[in-house]
Structures are given as structure tokens and as C-alpha cells.
Amino acid sequence: MDALAALMSTPAKAAQVSGLEMRVLTREISKLSGSYVSSIHSLGDSQVFRMKNPEGEADLVISPTFGAWITARPAHGVTNEFTTSLRQELLRLRLDSVTQLGLDRVLFFRFSGGEREVQLVLELMPPGNIVLMRPDGMVISALREFKGQHRTVAAGRTYLPPPQNRTSLEDVDAATLAELLSKERTAGKAVGRGLSLPRRYVDEILSKASVPQEEPTPLPEGKVEEIAEVVGRLLSSLEHPVPSVVESPAGLELMIVEPAHGTVVETAETLSELMDKSFAHALIEAGDRSEPEQQEREAKEMEVTLKRLDDQMEGLRKKAASMRQLAAEVGGSGSPEEAVGAIQKAAVDSALRKRLESQSSTAAMSSSLFDEAKAAEAEVRRIQQAAETLQSRLKRTKKVAPKSTVRLVVRQRKEWYEKFRWFFTSEGKLAVGGRDAQSNTILVKKHMEEGDVAYHADLFGSPFFILKGGAAQTAAEIRQLGQATASFSSAWKSGLAAADAYWVLPDQVSGSAPSGEYLARGSFAIKGKKNFVTKNPIELAVGIDSGGRVASGPEEALMTYSQAYLVLVPSREKSSDTAKKVFVELKKLYGEGAGTNSLDDVMRALPTGGGKIVRRRDLRPLEKRSPA
């Protein structure tokens, strides 16, 4: 078993992510500030947030067992009741900040949108919790509600963080250490029990200070100050962490500093990347367990309900039998007084007895008792039908084998151009286009270089397209870029059949308006001669490239690396409806080869506005095509 597999197989270690690791993760996650929540799914108790911004998208894991980190391995999970409550409050809100409570394992995520503000709290102290609350601290919902000695976490109550019982590392100095050491017999116990640190960092501190764990207190002169200096250096090192998995006598553990003890068996550029490698599969297993556990709970609840229904029917049957027997006895009585005597001896509830006693004849009394028996029998039949329906559900629940609802998706590292519109020309050059005013600006200012060529449609509402290395563009590439620029412009939404475009060199594109004029956001001034490409057909092809990505562009370009594709022209239908149709057709064309692409991926590849599929092309050999 390799190191990561071993670490993943010991989930107890995952719960030991310390406040030091959380400090590093807080800084890494804070890079998502300004992103919007577009979706939330659950993996067991963990929640996976899809975050989007103009630069792209990322997935954020918030787990009460493992911690929080940016994942490159998102998973398609399920939606439970708590996830639904999070969606109701957080979808389309912006992540404003991520902060840590001191060096404790508690993180605060602040979200806002319009006049709404909410906070999400992640607690890693066992058993772990996720709490959603208003800015004033009032709890909206919690993964786990509980009442303890020091605080209560429940909807409608004011949130209080877990109590801090040990000294924070940030408050440690020589005097504090001396006080801690005076309370214990050995250095190891003093540092371990007094500071908010797991054992691996206690070992690290004492090792670097050359103080044995069993060193008796008081320590030799100067050693207290030396330990305090090591603690200070440890805190400073968090600015430049060294994420690693270390093998020590205690087992495999996460570290974010170069260890003075143990053997490094795995490293990564970021702690998020290392946690992703270490704990992603444990998350998946937790998600896989959630469905059978839910089915088991449902089965037990149905069995309890069936037992209760059986008891009810048995009681009603006995009641019906006794009512019929009493009705016969009352009907055979010689007088009303004799009938009342029989009724008083029987086990009849007081309300029925009073009603019977008020009747003047034995026949009326007997008829009422028969009615009671019939009503009880009718209730038995109604309950019997409900029980049969429930019994059928119980059989289906037990018969159907639980299916895995969680699918791990190893997301390949995205190329920079995937934040924009893009395709490769028939000659293999990269063409990149803006999606809106902001991405137009980023594309031109950050990614356009000498040797490139810039394209723009000859109408208002056009992206800039950059042909990388376009100084050596061919006639075919000029046609392809002209068509792509025109098709992704407002011409598509307007329903035009053709539109003109032009290309210029980078030094002809200026972000400054001529004197006395104004440039709108995302617009640029063009100086000098424009090289026009006229009558470009408004038409695009959509397929899947060799890397499994949804790609769109002129058919002439796309057919060189996506031999099965759809061709679209503008249409008046909703863009969402077009995307759904294209998504279904790509699944038919590629089958399993469509990979993990989602409807969102298709939406991003299509121009703004509806489209109509006018033809389908599959140029692959028959043996490589997906079965119909």
C-alpha cells in the first residue's frame, strides 16, 4: 500500500487536521473570494460548493471531518435535507471572506448578495459541524443540532464557538511556557497539554529545540527561551508552507513545515492539492455510504409503522366483534332497562354508553351497536390497504441493491484559454475569444502578444478573437477566424445569416479613445487599416475534442480534431433548450466517450442565443462509433 492509500485508509488521521494546517488552507481558500456559489452537493456530511467567477470555476470542499480545501477532483454527489437548506440560502451569493478563529479548527465563510448576508461556520472539533447563521449570529440551520454544557447549537439560537481550553500558539512567549512547564513533570506533557497543538507538532517543536519528550521540569537555563523561539519560527513558516505527508513512529501524518523527524513520503505545491490526493476517496466512500444508510433507516421506519398498523387493526377487529356480540344481546333484551343493564356490564366507552342509554328502544340501541361494528371493520379495511402499500415499498427498498450515487471526477488542470471561447484552427493554431466586456479586456491586455492577430466583427456587440501566432495565418485560418468572430457576436442572437469581420495587428488595438471620444468598458480603439473578411456565415460546429472537452468553432476547424459533431445555426428558441438538445445529441454521438461533461460545459461552448441543429456528422470508422 502506498503512502496516500495508507493515509486514506485511516480516517482518524484526517480528523487531526490542526489549526496550523487550517491557517494555510484559509489563505488558499481566500483566493476564491469574489466567486459566486453556483451549486452545492453533499458527500456524506461533507458539502461541495461549485464556485464561479469571470476567471473560471473551482470546487470547494467543506467537510466537518476532513477540513476545507479547493479540490481538483469534484464529485457528483447527492442532495440531502441540509444541502437543500444551504442551497436556499447560499446559491448565487458571493464569497466575501474566509477567516479562522485564532488558530482553532474553526473557519468562518462570509457570503453576501444584494441586501443579504450570511455566515457559514465549519467546526472540526469532534464530532464536527457545519452551521449556517445570520450576521447577528442567529443560527438558520446546522448539520448537527446539540445541547452541551457550555453552548447550544440549534436553529433560532445565538451561535457560540467551541470553548478554547488551551493556550493559542499565537499567545506563547517565554513567560507563558514557563508557567505551563511549572504545571507538569516533563516537557512533552507541558507543551502537549498546554498548547493547542497535535502531538506531531509538539514533537517537532521539542525536536528542533533539542529537548527530549521526557526531559524533567524545570528545564535547563535558556531552554524555555529556545522553545519559544522555535514556536515563533513555526508560526512564521506558515507564510511559506511546505505541505507533505510524513511517516513517523505514530504513522502517516500531514505536515506543513519541513519536519525535523520522520520521513517525507509525499509532497505537493499546495496543501489543498495534498489533501485532495489524501482524502478525496474517503469523501467518496462517505458519500457512497450515505444512500444505503438512508435506505436502512427508511426500512426500519416502515417496519415500525407496519407493526403499529397491525396493532391498530387487531384492536379494531376485537372492537367490531364485541360490538356485534353486544348488539345481538341488546336486540334480544325484553326491555330497554334490561338492554341498558347489558350495556353497562360491557366494555363500552362512556360517550357511546351515554348515546345508547338515551335511546328509547332496544332496536335503536342494537342498530347503533351494529353501526359501530361496521365503522370499525371499515377502518380495518382502510388500514389494511395502507399497510399493503407500505409493505410493497418495504419489499422494494430491501430488494434494490444500493447504487453508488457518487462519482469521482478527476478534473484535468484547465488551460488558461478555457476561461474564454476557444478552438484550434485547421492548421493547429489556438484561437481565443472573449465572452463579455470584462473577458475581452483581459484577453487583449493580458494575452495578446506580438505575432498575434486580433479579430472583431463589423458590428456592435462582438468579442475580440486572438489568433496566437497569427502573423503566419493562412487563407483558411482567416476564413475560420472571421466566421467564429461573426458567429459569437450579436449577429447570432439577431438571427443574421452572415456578417462581416476584420483583423488587425496588436499595435493597432488601443485602450485609449481618440481625443474627445469615449470608450465603453471592454471596448478598444482600432488605428489604421482594417483587413475585412466579408459575408461570414453565422454557423458553428460543436463536438468533443481528443481531451474530452466540449469544443465549438467553425466546422472547417473542428472537423480536424473532432470527427463527430453537430452543426448549428441561429434560432429563436431559448438558449437553455438548445443546450439541452445539444447535450443529448452529443451523448448519443459519443456514448461513454462524452465523459463527464455537463450541461454547463455545453452552455459555455455555445453562443448567446438559441440555435437549431441543421446537420450531424460522424466521420469515424463504424467500429469506433457509439451504438445507437
Q: Which residue has the higher pLDDT, 522 or 458?
A: 458
Say if residue 253 is exposed, middle or buried (CB neighbours under 10 Å; 0-12, 13-18, 19+): buried
* pLDDT attached to residue 401: 45
Which cell numbers hold the place of 236? 512564521
Task: Fill in the DSSP letter of residue 243.
Answer: -
pLDDT reported for residue 170: 82
Q: Quick one: pLDDT band at residue 406, thresholds 50, 70, 90?
A: very low
**Cβ pair 113, 121 in contact under 8 A:** no
Contact between 138 and 156 under an 8 Å Cβ cutoff? The reply is yes
Average pLDDT, stretch 377-398?
Answer: 82
**pTM for this structure?**
0.52
Structure confidence by residue, pLDDT tens digits, 502-553: 999 999 998 877 766 766 666 788 999 999 999 999 999 999 987 788 999 9
What is the DSSP pairing of strand 67-71 with strand 75-76? Answer: unpaired
Is residue 12 over pLDDT 50? Answer: no
Whether pLDDT at 90 is above 90: yes
Predicted pLDDT at 409 = 43
> What are the strands of the beta sheet with 465-467, ordered from one edge?
421-424, 430-433, 465-467, 453-457, 498-504, 531-537
Q: H or E element: which one contains 70?
A: strand 67-71
Query: How far is it, in rounded angstroms, from Cα 335 to Cα 330?
Result: 9
d(CA 381, CA 177): 76
- Pick the closest to residue 67 from 90, 46, 95, 84 (CA basis): 46
For residue 76, what pLDDT band results from cuts at 50, 70 and 90? Answer: low
Give counts: helices (H), strands (E), the chain: 18, 28
d(CA 517, CA 20): 54
What sign results for the dihedral spanned by CA atoms 17, 21, 23, 26?
A: negative
CB atoms closer than 10 angstroms to residue 344: 11
pLDDT at 262: 74
Residue with cell 470553548: 163
> pLDDT tens digit string along 158-213?
999 988 777 778 888 888 888 888 888 888 888 878 887 788 888 888 888 888 88
* Rounded-to-integer distance, Cα 57 and Cα 95, Å: 13
**How far is Cα 555 from Cα 464, in angstroms, rounded to an integer?**
20
Helix (H, G, I), strand (E, B) or coil at 252: strand
Beta carbons within 10 angstroms of residue 146's beta carbon: 11
Q: What are phi and psi of 489, to 5 degrees?
A: -90, -175
Q: Which pLDDT score, from 0 to 100, does residue 264 have?
A: 85
Reduce the DSSP state of residue 423 to 3 states and report it.
Answer: strand
- Give Cα separations from 176 to 194, 233, 537 (angstroms): 10, 17, 76
Domains in the chain, start-ordered, CATH in brackets?
3-153 (2.30.310.10), 169-267 (1.10.8), 296-399 (no CATH), 416-624 (no CATH)
C-alpha cell, 70: 479547493
Please work out, in degrees rounded to the nearest 5, the angle formed at the alpha carbon of residue 535 by the alpha carbons of 533 and 541: 95
